[in-house]
C-alpha cells in the first residue's frame, strides 16, 4: 500500500484549498461578474447600497458555491476520518464481546494515521485470537498428556485397594514410572512457562562441560546399549565453556531420551566443539530422521513427527521445546538438520556469554 500523507497535512491542505476556492469565487468571480455586467447589461448594477436583482442572484450563487465547496470538503474529510474510526469502534466492541475474529475493513480512502490505526487494531485482534487459540490448544494438550498416567494410576491403585491386584515390586515400579512421567511433565511445563514469562534464569559459569556431559552419557550408556545403540562421543575435554551446566545436561538428557524413544538402533554420535565463537553440542542418529517439512517446527511444544509412532513410544511432546528454551536462555538456538538417513539435533550458543 502506498504511504498516505499525514492526517494533519491532509486536513490543512483540504481546508487551505477550500478557503482559496471560496476567495477565488468571491473576489475574482466578482470582478468577472461586474466586467460582464458593465459590458453587456450596463443598467443592471445598483447605484445605492441595495443590490439590484442581478447582483442578488450573483450573491446567492456565490453563497451556494461556497457552501457546496465546504460541504464537499467536509464530507470527504469525514469519510476519511470517521468511517475508519467507526469501523474500528464497531470491531472493538465485537472483540470486547468475545468475537475475536472481528476485523476492521481497511478503506483505501483512509488517511495516514487512520489507516495505521485500522491496521494496528487488526494486528492486535489477530494476535489476541492466536494467543487464545494457543491457550486452548495448550490446555487441551496438557489435559490429554495428564489423562493417560492418571488413569493408569487410578486403575492400578483401585485394583490394589479392592484386592484385585496383588502388591508386587513390579506393580509398584510401574506406578513409580507413571509418577516419574508426571513429574517430568510438570518440570517441563515449569521450564516452558518460565521461558514464556522471561524468567528462565541460567547461572552462567565457566565449566569443563565435557566432564559434566560425561556423567549424563554414563547414565545413558546402559539403556542405550540395551537397545542396540552404539554410542560415540567426541567431547573436547579441555573446552572451558560459559554456561549453566545443569540446564545443558538437561537438554542433552532430552536429546538422548529422544534417541532412545524415536531413533532406530545404530550409531549415536554426541559431539561438543567450539567454532567461530559458538559452542556446539550435537546428537546425531542413524534414522529414521525427521521429515524436512517438520524439521523447523519440531521444537514447538507438543509437535510430534509420526504421531502413531511417537505416541506409542511415549513422551510428553515437550522435550524439544525445553531444549530450545534452554538454548535460547543461553542466547543461542537449537536446530534439527538431516544427517545421512537420520537427523542431527544441534544446540549452539555464543562462547563468550
Ligand atoms: N532422534 C529422533 N529421531 C526421529 N524423530 C525424533 C527424534 N527426536 C524427536 N523426534 C520426533 O520429534 C517429536 C518431538 O520430540 P519431543 O519434543 O522430545 O517429544 P516426545 O519425545 O515427548 O514425543 C517426537 O515425537 C518425534 O516424533
Ligand atoms: Mg522427547
Closest CA to 11 of 81, 115, 88: 81
Q: Quote the domain boundaries for residue 210.
A: 205-350
Local confidence band at 98 (pLDDT 50, 70, 90 cut-offs): very high
DSSP 8-class letter at 35: H
Distance 304 CA to ligand 2 centre (A): 9
Distance 279 CA to ligand 2 centre (A): 23
Q: What is the pLDDT of residues 174-197, one digit of tens each?
A: 999 999 989 989 999 999 999 989
Closest CA to 89 of 121, 111, 115: 121
Query: Which one has a higher pLDDT value, 208 or 353?
Result: 208
Residue for cell digits 475574482? 28
Is it the case that residue 343 has pLDDT exceeding 70? yes
CA distances from 128 to 100, 106, 214 (A): 7, 19, 45
| Alpha-carbon gap, residue 299 to 332, rounded angstroms | 14
Distance 34 CA to ligand 1 centre (A): 91
| Alpha-carbon gap, residue 6 to 80, rounded angstroms | 12
Q: What is the pLDDT of residues 292-328, one digit of tens each?
A: 888 888 999 988 877 666 556 667 889 999 999 999 9
326 lies in the same domain as 280 = yes
Which grid coordinates are listed for 15?
Answer: 481546508
Distance 255 CA to ligand 2 centre (A): 7
189 lies in the same domain as 164 = yes
pLDDT, residue 111, reads: 72
Least confident residue range of 30-44, 102-116, 169-183, 244-258: 102-116
Distance 258 CA to ligand 2 centre (A): 5
65 lies in the same domain as 183 = no
Domain count, the chain: 3
Atom of ligand 1 nearest to the CA of 309: 27
From 141, 142, 262, 293, give the residue whose CB has the most ligand 1 atoms within 8 Å, as the site to mutate: 262
| Alpha-carbon gap, residue 334 to 282, rounded angstroms | 10
Atom of ligand 1 nearest to the CA of 315: 22
92 lies in the same domain as 40 = yes
CA distances from 76 to 2, 83, 90 (A): 19, 10, 21
> 155 in a domain, yes or no?
yes
Local confidence band at 273 (pLDDT 50, 70, 90 cut-offs): very high
175 lies in the same domain as 220 = no
241 lies in the same domain as 341 = yes
| Alpha-carbon gap, residue 263 to 257, rounded angstroms | 10
Mean pLDDT (whole number) for 192-216: 92
Site residues for ligand 1, CB cut-off 6 Å: 254, 258-259, 261-263, 285, 288, 290, 298, 303-306, 310, 315-321, 343
209 lies in the same domain as 193 = no
> Biggest alpha carbon distance in the chain?
126
- Which residues pair with residue 344 across a beta bridge? 284, 337
> pTM higher than 0.85 for the full model?
no
Amino acid at each position: 500500500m502506498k504511504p498516505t500523507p499525514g492526517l494533519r497535512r491532509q486536513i490543512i491542505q483540504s481546508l487551505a484549498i477550500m478557503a482559496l476556492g471560496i476567495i477565488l469565487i468571491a473576489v475574482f468571480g466578482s470582478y468577472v461578474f461586474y466586467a460582464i455586467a458593465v459590458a453587456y447589461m450596463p443598467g443592471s448594477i445598483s447605484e445605492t447600497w441595495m443590490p439590484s436583482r442581478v447582483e442578488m442572484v450573483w450573491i446567492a450563487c456565490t453563497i451556494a458555491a461556497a457552501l457546496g465547496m465546504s460541504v464537499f470538503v467536509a464530507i470527504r474529510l469525514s469519510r476519511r476520518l470517521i468511517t475508519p474510526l467507526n469501523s474500528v469502534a464497531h470491531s472493538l466492541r465485537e472483540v470486547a464481546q468475545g468475537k475475536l475474529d472481528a476485523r476492521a475493513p481497511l478503506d483505501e480512502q483512509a488517511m495516514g494515521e487512520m489507516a495505521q490505526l485500522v491496521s494496528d487494531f487488526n494486528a492486535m485482534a489477530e494476535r489476541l485470537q492466536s494467543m487464545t487459540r494457543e491457550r486452548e490448544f495448550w490446555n487441551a494438550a496438557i489435559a490429554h498428556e495428564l489423562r493417560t498416567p492418571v488413569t493408569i494410576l487410578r486403575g492400578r491403585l483401585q485394583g490394589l485397594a479392592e484386592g484385585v491386584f496383588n502388591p508386587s515390586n513390579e506393580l509398584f515400579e510401574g506406578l513409580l514410572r507413571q509418577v516419574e512421567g508426571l513429574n517430568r511433565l510438570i518440570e517441563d511445563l515449569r521450564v516452558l512457562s518460565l521461558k514464556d514469562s522471561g524468567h528462565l534464569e541460567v547461572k552462567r559459569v565457566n565449566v569443563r562441560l565435557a566432564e559434566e556431559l560425561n556423567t549424563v552419557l554414563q547414565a545413558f550408556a546402559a539403556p542405550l546399549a540395551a537397545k542396540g545403540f552404539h554410542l560415540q562421543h567426541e567431547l573436547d575435554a579441555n573446552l572451558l565453556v560459559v554456561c549453566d551446566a545443569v540446564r545443558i545436561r538437561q537438554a542433552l538428557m532430552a536429546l538422548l531420551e529422544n534417541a532412545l524413544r524415536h531413533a532406530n538402533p545404530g550409531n549415536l554420535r554426541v559431539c561438543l566443539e567450539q567454532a567461530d565463537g559458538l559452542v556446539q553440542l550435537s546428537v546425531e542418529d542413524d534414522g529414521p530422521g525427521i521429515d524436512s517439512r517438520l524439521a523447523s517446527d519440531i521444537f514447538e511444544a507438543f509437535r510430534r513427527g509420526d504421531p502413531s509412532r511417537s505416541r506409542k513410544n511415549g513422551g510428553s511432546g515437550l522435550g524439544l521445546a525445553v531444549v530450545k528454551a534452554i538454548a535460547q536462555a543461553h542466547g543461542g538456538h537449537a536446530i534439527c538438520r538431516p544427517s545421512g538417513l537420520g537427523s542431527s539435533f544441534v544446540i549452539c550458543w555464543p562462547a563468550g556469554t
